[in-house]
Amino acid sequence: MRTAVFSTKAYDRCFLQNANADHRHELAFFDARLDRTTVALVEGFEAVCVFVNDTLDADVIHALAAKGVTAIALRCAGYNNVDLVAAEATGIAVLRVPAYSPHAVAEFTVGLLLALDRNIPRACARVRENNFSLDGLIGRDLSSRIVGVVGTGRIGALVARILKAGFGCDVIAHDLVPDAALVALGVRYVDREALFAQAEVISLHCPLTPESRHLINADTLALARPGVVIVNTSRGALIDTAALIAALKTRHVGGVALDVYEQEGDLFFEDLSSEIVDDDVFQRLLTFPNVLVTGHQAFLTEEALTAIAETTLSGLSALETGQSPPNLVTTDRLVPR
């Protein structure tokens, strides 16, 4: 299948080309993101392959359909950037990668928490300047702390398991469908309000839907314990950043570790080191010494990239041969407003 691959970096090309040896699709790689200004590039292609910050709203979807595109292959699990109603109306199949390597994101989540809690980035920076003072580097044990995991799908369940079995945390969780294996391990499911009120650490692992947007906001932060630590490796818009900054300024939030940001589309995956970043909210966030931000890299392991490439191309191969791929995304996944 002739496929235009957008938002590509060197690692995308490498892993997709390796996986394509078994599929023999015709892949054309574009550095640009897919949006209304670049949709003209899909002329003559049957499919597009996109990532988290590509824009596939109704206008783009209709433009794709007009150019003969029949498939959208997402190199990610989330699909909040795709207008599924427009895709279904135009007959364009939408594919995703529902489970590439949950271990990659789960392990990175715990790594972020440890780095924040134990002041590891600050300590490394000091040592490079031959400053071996330990003042200001006091952390806290994870053992016995109450950790709230919001969303216990594949990734959230692994985080809960690592923190419960590996670190001895008292793990509480919230999900519409409790995981029986986690309950057997001693994880307690509570409602969302109870989780916010009890947890010393809150880790987010839920999809972005109309209902979960700004899950962390002024009201939910007011419920939280003073000094709460928040970790987000899921979707940036789960957090109202302005409300988070306000809570950091009052010291009500004790620390934040983010691998995602709600306005990351204009920032992440690009080298802006020689540019002026004019996102004042993001720049304010970076001024706090108890905030750790990485650029959406939790998924970035060899195992995950291999699985993403293989699942993406396998889905396109299935469509090409008239089969129904298991990773189709349809409108029945939408949460009613």
The 10s digit of each residue's pLDDT in 68-95 is: 999 999 999 889 899 999 999 999 999 9
Per-residue pLDDT tens digits for 114-160 = 999 999 999 999 999 999 999 999 999 999 999 999 999 999 999 99
For the CA atoms of 135, 136, 137, 142, the dihedral, rounded to the nearest 10 degrees, stands at: 130
Catalytic residue among 96, 235, 262, 310: 235
Residue 333 annotated in active site: no
Answer CATH for 2-100+302-333 from 3.10.20.30, 3.30.465.10, 3.40.50.1820, 3.40.50.720: 3.40.50.720
Q: What is the pLDDT of residue 337?
A: 27
**Looking at residue 332, what is its pLDDT?**
77
Active-site residue, selected from the candidate residues 264, 270, 302, 303: 264
Q: Give pLDDT tens digits for 250-308.
A: 999 999 999 999 999 889 999 999 999 999 999 999 999 999 999 999 999 999 999 99
Q: One fold for both 2-100+302-333 and 102-293? A: yes
Among positive and negative, which fits the CA dihedral 12, 14, 15, 16? positive
Instruction: Provide the residue ranges of all domains of the chain, joining segments of one domain with +.
Output: 2-100+302-333, 102-293
pLDDT band at residue 333 under the 50/70/90 scheme: low
Task: Give the pLDDT score at 98.
Answer: 86
Active site annotation includes 302: no
Q: What average pLDDT does the segment 214-232 reach?
A: 98
The answer to whether residue 336 scores a pLDDT higher than 50 is no
- Whether 235 is catalytic is yes
Burial zone of 330 (CB within 10 Å; 0-12 exposed, 13-18 middle, 19+ buried):
exposed
Quick: pLDDT tens for 145-202: 999 999 999 999 999 999 999 999 999 999 999 999 999 999 999 999 999 999 999 9
pTM score: 0.90
Name the E strands within the chain.
Answer: 2-5, 26-29, 47-50, 71-74, 93-95, 146-150, 170-174, 188-189, 201-204, 228-232, 253-258, 291-293
Q: Of 296, 302, 320, 337, which one is the catalytic site residue?
A: 296
Is 3.40.50.800 the CATH classification of the domain at 102-293? no
